[in-house]
Amino acid sequence: MVAASRQFKELREASLQRVVRITAWSLAATIVVLSLVPSELRPETGVRHNLEHFFAFAATGAAFGLGYEARSGVREIRLIIFAGTVEIAQLFVSGRHARLSDFIVDALAISVASMPGP
C-alpha cells in the first residue's frame, strides 16, 4: 500500500511538472510572437508598457523556475539570453524596435522570478 501511494505521488508530481514545463514554453512562445508581430496586431492591455513586460517575463521565469532545476544560475543566464534575443530580434522586424530599458526590465523579471525560494 505504501509503495502504491508513493508511486501515485511520484506520478502526480511528474504530471504537474510536465504541465508547468508546457506552460513555461507556451509563455516563452507567446512572448516571441507578441514581440515580433507588427505593433498594430498586438493586443492592448491598458497596463503601462514596463509593467506589461515585467508581468509577462516574471510569469515566464516563474514557470521555468518551477519546471526545471538548474545549477548555479545556469537557468537564469539562459533566460536572460532569451530576453536579450527577443529584444535583438525586434531590430529585424519592420515597425518594431529594441529598447535597452525593455531588456533590463525583462532580464530582471525573468531571472529573479525563476530563482528558487528559501
What average pLDDT does this structure show over 79-104? Answer: 94
Residue 67 phi, psi dihedral angles, 5° rounding: -90, -25
Give me the number of domains the chain comprises.
1
Q: Residue 37: is it exposed, middle or buried by C-beta count within 10 angstroms (0-12/13-18/19+)?
A: middle
CB 17 within 8 A of CB 68: no
Range of the domain at 94: 2-114
Average pLDDT over all residues of the chain: 89
**Whole-prediction pTM:** 0.86
What average pLDDT does this structure show over 71-97? Answer: 92
Q: Please write the tens of the pLDDT for every residue from 17-59.
A: 999 999 999 999 999 999 999 888 888 889 999 999 999 999 9
Q: Residue 81: is it exposed, middle or buried by C-beta count within 10 angstroms (0-12/13-18/19+)?
A: exposed
What pLDDT does residue 4 have?
A: 62
